[in-house]
Amino acid sequence: MATFKKREGKKGVRWQAIVRRRGSVDLVQTFGTQKEAEVWARKQEVAIDEGRQPIGRDHAKMTLHDALLRYQEDYTQHKKSAEGERGFIKQWLARPVAKKKLAEVTLRDMSRVKTEMVKEGKGGTTIRLHFAVISNLYNRAKGDWLHLPHLQNPTTGLTLPKVKEGRDRRLNADEMSRLMEVCRQTEAGKLALIVDFAIETCMRQSEIIRIELADIHLDKSMIHLKKTKNEEARDVPISCRAEEIIEECKSLKCKTRAGFLWGYTLGALRTAYKRAVKEAGIVNFDFHDLRHEGISRLYERTTLTDIQISKISGHKTLQVLKRYANLRADNLAVLLRQGEKKWNSSKLK
């Protein structure tokens, strides 16, 4: 049963409702009338019994908006993917659902947001990353972050879009020419250099931005990446063209980010690249597609094995690289026929 305390102060008579349940945080709220306090207490008791009461003593009025800001401060800033997650949080803060209290956000609310995201043109992977933020926030709130053991995660049961197997968008010669022409018009042509570099090295966008001058070992034709998506450092062999780009970039001298190869921050690069793609009249070609282009060229123009290419690209398994096998269909046919000739000739002997 809930207990009620009558309090008199400068603002007149106030009624404090206290709801206690063994194994959960006490719920306390103050109202102007006893009736309001009793109605609130009954709702809390029913919610607790149904296993969905999330409101704690210190967070009775916390909205999703407030929780997102606190989550960003307590957790996001310490993540390697902080900049990307801050972008997701910024979009969540702008949505109407952010105004609701944590306890009031429902599966139906999340379903509506999912529909909105699909209409906005977001892909399956992007939508999943957005909802991963909300799911993680609620799971942490149930634990020792906000101490709300009865909090119900509104993303539980939500059906998210399937993730496509992998993008295979590549630019034709005309599109590549237009893109590079626009990129060369940037300051000292730096954007053109970084686009060319991304293709030559097959590196991810974040990996490129983090390259420090001390990580470059031209005597070994190699760049050491301390931080990667896979949480493992790796050495990336570089081509002659990549080495030329590095030398040209060094001659330009990065003033904005001393000690780094590139002057771009991750956000600045994303903005500049999107603007260049749009100006070049190119549709559906992300910066990450440059990595796909680079890996495709390794299959088309070299005889490197899957394992050797994975050492360059940073893939931990060869499964992802299987989709590139068709790029060597002609080569496989030649090898097959060469093998047949050798077998036939040895059989004749």
Q: Would you say the C-alpha torsion 170, 174, 178, 180 has a positive or negative sign?
A: positive
224 is catalytic: no
Q: Which of 114, 130, 190, 315 is catalytic?
A: 315
| Lookup: tokens for 119 | 């209409």
Residues 6+ apart with CB under 8 A from 107: 154, 155, 156, 157, 158
Cα–Cα distance for residue pair 16/146, rounded to 1 Å? 22
Residue 142's nearest CA partner among 59, 39, 30, 246 is: 59
> Which residues contact residue 164 at a Cβ distance below 8 angstroms, ignoring those fewer than 6 apart?
123, 124, 125
3 state SS of 271: helix
Tell me the C-alpha distance between 31 and 5, whole Å: 10
Judged by DSSP in three states, 55 sits in coil
Active site residue 273: no
CA atoms in the 13 A half-sphere facing the CB of 282:
26
User: Residue 114, Cβ neighbours under 10 Å: how many?
Assistant: 19
The structure tokens 């690249």 sit at 273
Beta bridge partners of 13: 8
Active-site residue identified among 288, 322, 337, 342: 288
Given the residues 229, 297, 311, 323, the one annotated as active site:
229
Active site residue 288: yes
**Is-contact 93 69, C-beta < 8 A?**
yes
**For this structure, is 204 an active site residue?**
yes
Q: For 153, left (φ over 0), alpha (ψ -120 to 50), or beta?
A: beta
Active site residue 147: no
> DSSP string spanning 309-338?
HHHHH--SSSTGGGGGGGGGHHHHHHHHHH
Q: Is 108 noted as a catalytic residue in this protein?
A: no
Q: 130, 210, 291, 292: which one is catalytic?
A: 291
Nearest to 27 by CA among 151, 131, 123: 151
Active site residues: 204, 229, 288, 291, 315, 324
